[in-house]
């Protein structure tokens, strides 16, 4: 009888040990070093961010009254975004305004390898959509 109790206790100990090892593995896999870089952007996503940065000219909104631009820009982006990732990114920064929104877009443009972002510069202008 003592052998059976010892086997049960050993099995419980081994289960706990296995659970601990699995948990540590999961935690380690889920953590990312703060200094690590995000995964590289796909070519399509980079093209979407480039289109976002240049949307004012590409959509023809630069030739319109500023009050007419938002609808033209939104329609153009909807027709030209190739990835859901870009759409999700735009939704994520939508609540921001002014400098925080411009800085977020500049950072994303830099991350995907773009030298500048005209839309971010536009958002820094007071009174512009997305601006302060």
Predicted pLDDT at 41: 72
Phi, psi of 44 (to 5 degrees): -70, -40
The parts of the chain modelled with pLDDT lower than 50 are 14-34, 132
**Quick one: tokens of 22?**
């699995």
* Sole residue written with tokens 């735009």: 90
Predicted pLDDT at 28: 37
So where are the chain's domains?
43-123
Helix (H) and strand (E) counts for the chain? 7, 0
Q: Is 76 left (phi over 0), alpha (psi -120 to 50) or beta?
A: alpha
C-beta separation of 109 from 49 below 8 A: yes
Predicted pLDDT at 91: 94
Predicted pLDDT at 27: 36
Q: How distant, in Å, are the alpha carbons of 2, 51, 78 from that of 104?
A: 66, 16, 20
* Sole residue written with tokens 């820009």: 73
């Amino acid at each position: 009888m003592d052998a059976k109790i010892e086997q049960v206790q050993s099995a419980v100990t081994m289960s706990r040990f296995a659970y601990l090892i699995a948990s540590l593995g999961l935690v380690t896999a889920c953590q990312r070093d703060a200094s690590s870089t995000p995964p590289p952007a796909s070519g399509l996503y980079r093209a979407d961010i480039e289109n976002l940065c240049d949307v004012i000219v590409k959509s023809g909104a630069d030739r319109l009254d500023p009050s007419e631009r938002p609808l033209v820009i939104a329609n153009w982006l909807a027709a030209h975004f190739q990835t859901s990732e870009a759409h999700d990114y735009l939704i994520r920064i939508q609540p921001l305004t002014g400098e925080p929104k411009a800085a977020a877009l500049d950072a994303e443009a830099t991350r995907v390898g773009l030298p500048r972002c005209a839309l971010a510069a536009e958002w820094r202008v007071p009174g512009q959509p997305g601006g302060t």
